[in-house]
Structure 1
């Protein structure tokens, strides 16, 4: 007979990734009793197999690039190669430090963590290894996994996922990257910096296809300069493993030979076999459906993070976890505005954006209602010092009171500028409001100010 907890807690959370642990921390802070169920390690994909380790590799790749380019800055240096054992030690050290800090926070706030694979068994209960944990509310936060394509088998040696790529003990000589989205572009960037021959295959017309077309084109230009090859509007047909690697067949009849094939075609929800169907949770293609308050069709169950349809970003999970916790504590939080969630692709050059693309803005408001300005980083002093190129594009509605509805940036380190851009779009600032703000000189943040100066009709260092 299953063992039951002494009494219901306020909140049971199934999954200890970004969304789940954020919900747990905020709920405990607000005085709710919380049980957090996690089958692996707290922190989930982002901390252990996603955001953090990939950005550590990208930073090491940036150092490689800096060494190669150091003579440009008057610094003579010698590059002696890459020690992947030490790179991985650095990466794992970052993960370990953050994991230790997270577990300390969870413990300090009195959150009970139950290790094991949980399963939803009723609208208010999760079972773990024979124990049934009752809660007044349940949050589903079981995250996502690396998808493949129908008929494309992963052997995790020659045909690999991003998780496999993070554990490589060598720099591959050549890689075909299937998928030109965020994950594909980030790994392509790392491997090219490390010296690999890289080709991206993308079925859609542009890399990072969810971004504004202007950003995609600038990224493609930057990748060409770096020697990263890509085939757009090209579909995958098949792959054969060989003694030396893989031969990838494409629908246009061409083939590509490489040491590895990285499959980066997106992430699917982890929902199968977890009791969601049996309890009656509404789903579509494996994703759990929710309303604007992140409630499922069952009032006592919410779903957050990669499990529900929409943006699959760790910081979205953080925001959703906090939102649901505050709701359950009786507060009245503002629902998340997904249009104005910042997005960053951390390749070189970086791509950062918030708000609407030009195409979506025109579709929503009408082509005649939309205006934009693109500020080339060639006019920005700090960008010239850093030897980076790119642009800032600001999209607004026409008229003196027309708000800014989108900001799109390409260039090294532009991800650090996106927080200001988020304030601009979220607060519906008009260009003249931002144009009055004085940005420090010389900084890359001036590029945002310059673009808004131009939209306000008083351009300063604008280059066509």
Structure 2
């Protein structure tokens, strides 16, 4: 169904990104009626301007690197060049196929009414769209996020870009400065370097991917130096000026750098302005919607999910929160989501994957004398040798207790985070994981070997 003349529903959802559409689908399964409202395409940022298209670019970048380096595997191939029109066609094709599938799933569901238009919360149970009112016994706010900038930094979409602009660029820039060394920044730096650009990352914090364990950050920095990706950490941005051929960026200390483009990757802000939230009593903090552990706003039957809720801005977090709220509304009393148990992946080369807390956080939380760590070098793993990747798996354990953090860096380690999050969320002891059989030769085996070592019986490693 689509474009009705308003109506009353069990749930009205404002925003059809990962959190919103997951809530709609789960609620529909539970036989609740849903109005799903969004001014843009179903699937939101993740599908159209985030997770999916960026990962398609990263895969194309991996193909470019493999072609360039193929001779070390005994394969002779020449990289003639990067056809950005072809790369974008591949990327857009992936998005289009997923969008078509999601649209069919939502629009053909008898319990879901899809409404295309800009919605605004006009009372504690009503969203207005183009003069039509959709009333919900429950309301879920899921309006997502936007690319932040910095004061005095004007994004023009030509020389000064956000990730949205970078995703549709019709060329490989000859040089790029990336402002921000977090997930988005290092992923685009990785892509552009693989495509042949000269790249420099500027980060105000003391290290790249600063939210990750410090040992992981150091390995990423080592790998980036080897790849000749330049970076300057602990260097806040001061200003940008246009030059004849691009931009000139000034950083702390008066140092200047020039490039063809500047990518602003300083994080994402919550999309909550001018949507009527505060007028209805919803509490905002720096634009984020404040909720309790059950994602309720404390106002009427209004809930919030996804990037507008303080915490990790990850599609799978929003997805899980959407499912949680649908089940909460249906009276199923779902278990509260443990934020530390949400897996995190950065898809650069090398990849970073983690779940749980860092060594520093564990020592702060439990006391330095209560925490032990173990690093398993991927050099001892057969499949990692085949892939010619360097990296390690780091385990953080509370002494004589469960593992509270699993941190990985290396090619394709994002594919290992599934088992890692099961280990963390089930509060498994090393001795329990050591009993599990891991297939050989796989990188997954490295996780098994790390736990064998932590359990006191290392095979290919020293305890």
Q: State TM-score, norm by structure 1.
A: 0.98
RMSD: 1.2
Across the two proteins, how many residue pairs are aligned to each other? 460
Aligned counterparts of 2:435 and 2:281: Cα–Cα separation in 1? 54
Matches for 1:60-459 after TM superposition, within 5 Å: 60-110=60-110, 111-399=112-400, 402-459=401-458
State the Cα deviation string for residues 33-60 of structure 1 (Å, max 9, x = none): 0000010100000000000000000000
Aligned counterparts of 1:458 and 1:206: Cα–Cα separation in 2? 34
Aligned counterparts of 2:287 and 2:399: Cα–Cα separation in 1? 41
Q: Which residue is equivalent to 1:461?
A: 460
What SS class does the counterpart of residue 334 from structure 2 fall into?
coil
- Pair 1:263–1:463, CA change in 2 (3 A): farther
| Contact 1:235/1:252, CA 8 A, preserved across alignment | no
The CA deviation at 1:329 is 0.9
- Pair 1:403–1:170, CA change in 2 (3 A): same
State the Cα deviation string for residues 356-392 of structure 1 (Å, max 9, x = none): 1000111111111101100000100100000000000
Q: Which residue is equivalent to 2:41?
A: 41
The CA deviation at 1:253 is 1.5
| Contact 2:71/2:77, CA 8 A, preserved across alignment | yes
State the Cα deviation string for residues 6-35 of structure 1 (Å, max 9, x = none): 752100000000000000000001000000
Q: Which residue is equivalent to 2:22?
A: 22
| Contact 2:20/2:142, CA 8 A, preserved across alignment | yes
- Pair 1:224–1:463, CA change in 2 (3 A): farther
Structure 2 stretches lacking a partner, 5+ long: none
The CA deviation at 1:5 is 5.6
Aligned counterparts of 1:263 and 1:5: Cα–Cα separation in 2? 41
State the Cα deviation string for residues 439-461 of structure 1 (Å, max 9, x = none): 11111011111111111111111
Aligned counterparts of 1:463 and 1:428: Cα–Cα separation in 2? 25
What SS class does the counterpart of residue 9 from structure 1 fall into?
strand
| Contact 1:306/1:312, CA 8 A, preserved across alignment | yes
